């Protein structure tokens, strides 16, 4: 068994500061989605969608990286494989006010592979360590990593532990581990989130063997009971699809996971809290649908869910649509 370096001294991330996070999800966890989720839980750590280092360095930064202050605590996830580019991006993340910067070593899409980043980097732990080390030098922010338990045929625990050992020697302390391997050929990204079996035992073993690291487990969690059970074994849990498909799942988090005594917001209160934000967005020329598409599942499992979704879907795209659509959907869905 490979142990982590005894000289490890960098300790930027207090233990269990973030026992729960919402996973980075392309085309989902954009700023509107995060603002919405923030109305449901004040404490959960939120991640951006993955933004590539090329986009950050060459694109419209304000558009790509801008966020509302209320979204804190917020981590920027970056995709890339060039240490100096990533270092520059980490600096930029700090200038923008992010709380954490995370390197994506878990995405299996072919677009990402052709850039030699994402999950294929799991096969190059020394290179990943170079990337992370450059980022750590460039910023005071905690630099974290999200990865898989393996790729292709390299899916044994020894290879995983070797990866974590090598990367942790840079001082990287938080490892978010999607408890599935990725098949780089033959499976789509969606299939790679469903077909390879979940191996929570491997992530638990990592925590046993690297007790000084923050190990976050990810993959397939759908309830806070499951989260609590995992927190007995690992430091944190990351939820992706379930938080998007049933966002009200997060309503109990501040009390149940963070021990706060703040009242649980009702679904109506959450929708109503979005109105000033939506007004501002529309006044600045934005479209209602950009925000409301993330709110469709607010009433997931409730009697008024169908009518809520129907009104929002049909009416948010109409020319000139504004907050009255939300008010109408709220009043109709609560009559159900």
Ligand X SMILES: Cc1cc2nc3c(=O)[nH]c(=O)nc-3n(C[C@H](O)[C@H](O)[C@H](O)COP(=O)(O)O)c2cc1C
Provide the annotated active-site residues. 107
Q: According to CB under 6 A, which one of 12, 61, 162, 241 is a site residue for ligand X?
A: 241
> Is 23 one of the binding residues for ligand X (CB under 6 A)?
yes
Q: How far is the CB of 104 from ligand X (least distance, A)?
A: 4
Contacts of 112 (CB under 8 A, 6+ apart): 79, 104, 118, 119, 120
Residues 137, 87 contacting (CB under 8 angstroms): yes
> Is 28 one of the binding residues for ligand X (CB under 6 A)?
yes
By beta-carbon proximity to ligand X, the closer residue of 87 and 242 is 242
Residues 237, 19 contacting (CB under 8 angstroms): yes
By beta-carbon proximity to ligand X, the closer residue of 37 and 242 is 242
The span from the CA of 73 to the CA of 330, in Å, is 29
Helix (H) or strand (E) holding 220: none
> Is 108 one of the binding residues for ligand X (CB under 6 A)?
no
The span from the CA of 323 to the CA of 287, in Å, is 11
With CB atoms as reference, the residue minimizing the distance to ligand X is 240
What are the structure tokens assigned to 207, written together?
């925590």
Query: Contact letters (x/-) for ligand X, 72-101, by CB under 6 A?
Result: -----x------------------------
Query: Contact letters (x/-) for ligand X, 200-219, by CB under 6 A?
Result: ------------------xx
By beta-carbon proximity to ligand X, the closer residue of 53 and 77 is 77
Residues 2, 165 contacting (CB under 8 angstroms): yes
What are the structure tokens assigned to 205, written together?
């073993």
> Is 178 one of the binding residues for ligand X (CB under 6 A)?
yes
Residues 177, 149 contacting (CB under 8 angstroms): yes
Q: How many CB atoms lie within 10 A of CB 5?
A: 14
> Is 247 one of the binding residues for ligand X (CB under 6 A)?
no
Query: Contact letters (x/-) for ligand X, 140-169, by CB under 6 A?
Result: ------x-----------------------
User: Between β-strands 174-182 and 74-79, what pairing exists: parallel, antiparallel or unpaired?
Assistant: unpaired
Q: Which one of 37-45, 55-63, 102-110, 120-128 is the stretch in contact with ligand X (CB under 6 A)?
A: 102-110
Q: According to CB under 6 A, which one of 55, 86, 107, 145 is a site residue for ligand X?
A: 107
Q: How far is the CB of 218 from ligand X (least distance, A)?
A: 5
The span from the CA of 142 to the CA of 101, in Å, is 6
> Is 49 one of the binding residues for ligand X (CB under 6 A)?
yes
Contacts of 213 (CB under 8 A, 6+ apart): 4, 164, 168, 173, 174, 175, 206, 207
Q: According to CB under 6 A, which one of 239, 278, 312, 326 is a site residue for ligand X?
A: 239
Q: According to CB under 6 A, which one of 98, 221, 277, 281 is a site residue for ligand X?
A: 221
Residues in the chain: 336
Burial group, residue 66, by CB count within 10 angstroms (0-12, 13-18, 19+): exposed
Tell me the β-bridge partners of 254.
none
> Is 332 one of the binding residues for ligand X (CB under 6 A)?
no
Residues 239, 221 contacting (CB under 8 angstroms): yes
> Is 50 one of the binding residues for ligand X (CB under 6 A)?
yes
**Count of residues that bind ligand X according to CB under 6 A:** 23
Which residues of this protein are in contact with ligand X, per CB under 6 A? 23-28, 49-50, 77, 104, 106-107, 146, 178, 193, 218-221, 239-242
């Amino acid at each position: 068994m490979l142990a982590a370096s005894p000289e490890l001294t960098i300790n930027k991330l207090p233990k269990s500061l973030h026992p729960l996070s919402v996973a980075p999800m392309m085309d989902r966890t954009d700023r509107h989605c995060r603002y919405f989720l923030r109305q449901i839980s004040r404490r959960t750590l939120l991640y951006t969608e993955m933004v590539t280092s090329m986009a950050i360095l060459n694109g419209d930064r304000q558009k790509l990286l801008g966020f509302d202050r209320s979204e804190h605590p917020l981590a920027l996830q970056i995709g890339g494989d060039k240490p100096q580019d990533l270092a520059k991006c980490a600096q930029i993340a700090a200038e923008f006010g992010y709380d954490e910067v995370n390197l994506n070593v878990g995405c299996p899409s072919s677009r990402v592979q052709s850039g030699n980043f994402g999950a294929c980097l799991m096969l190059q732990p020394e290179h990943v360590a170079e990337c992370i080390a450059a980022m750590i030098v460039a910023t005071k922010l905690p630099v974290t990593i999200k990865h898989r338990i393996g790729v292709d045929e390299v899916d044994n625990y020894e290879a995983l532990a070797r990866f974590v050992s090598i990367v942790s020697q840079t001082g990287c302390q938080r490892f978010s581990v999607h408890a599935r391997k990725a098949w780089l050929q033959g499976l789509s990204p969606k299939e790679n989130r469903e077909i390879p079996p979940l191996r929570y035992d491997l992530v638990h073993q990592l925590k046993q063997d690297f007790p000084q690291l923050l190990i976050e487990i990810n993959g397939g969690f759908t309830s806070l009971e499951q989260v609590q059970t995992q927190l007995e074994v690992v430091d944190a849990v990351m939820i992706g699809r379930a938080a998007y498909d049933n966002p009200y799942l997060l309503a109990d988090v501040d009390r149940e996971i963070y021990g706060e005594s703040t009242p649980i917001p009702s679904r109506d209160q959450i929708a109503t809290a979005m109105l000033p934000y939506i007004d501002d967005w529309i006044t600045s020329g934005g479209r209602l649908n950009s925000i409301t598409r993330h709110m469709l599942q607010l009433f997931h499992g409730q009697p008024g869910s169908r009518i809520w979704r129907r009104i929002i879907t049909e009416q948010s795209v109409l020319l000139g649509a504004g907050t009255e659509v939300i008010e109408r959907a709220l009043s109709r869905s609560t009559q159900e």
